Chain A
């Protein structure tokens, strides 16, 4: 059974700092891995999706990497801003018939001005 773990659970950084969020998964037989942002009391916004055949994806100040062999993914945020404050979730998608997402518990990021 797939398990997804995110470290750290919470992170506080000053504005402008570059940071890395970590995600690990136990079963490397994934179809893709997706990073989401969740604001308090809100739904999820998709940030980046990395297919199992890919190593990384970039969107603006965000870069996500994937290493299937080690069961790890990272989300790199450059030049952080207070507006980046949110909970960041990673989720692996299996290759089974349903292909549902398995989520980590998230990393709560606070960027202080």
Chain B
């Protein structure tokens, strides 16, 4: 079945630094990938929709200059948390689906990245 790989699984960084998270679709090409954030005991919240070859679409309240998304190829999307602060500490998860499925198939999720900002 379709597999989505996310790296790193855990990262600890100091306040003010930037962190890049990668999301790869391993056996299919993904024109669209989704980035979610999950705080403890909360729902997954969509942050942005990453579109290959074009700008990402951000959800209301998500700072596009802070959370930089690059979807340069059909198999890779990256999320960079710039100038990280302790309140950015969270669980970040990406998802993707094969093109042409028109929502009929389940989304495939990466294993997530636990970001801790000290």
Q: B7 interface residue, CB < 8 Å from A?
A: no
> What residue of chain B has the Cβ atom nearest to residue A35's Cβ?
B106
Report whether over half of chain B's contact residues are helix, strand or loop; otherwise say mixed: strand
For chain B, residues 1 to 50, give those with C-beta under 8 angstroms from any C-beta of chain A.
Answer: 4, 6, 34, 41-46, 49
- How would residues 36 to 71 of chain A score, 1 for a CB under 8 Å from any chain B CB and 0 otherwise? 100001111110010100000000000000000000
Contacts of B104 in A (CB 8 A): 32, 51
B33 to chain A, nearest CB (A): 11
B side interface size, CB within 8 A: 25
Q: Nearest Cβ distance between residue B41 and chain A, in whole angstroms?
A: 7
* Complex: A45 Cα to B2 Cα, angstroms: 11
Q: Which residues of A contact B (CB under 8 A)?
A: 4, 31-32, 34, 36, 41-46, 49, 51, 89, 91, 93, 95, 98-106
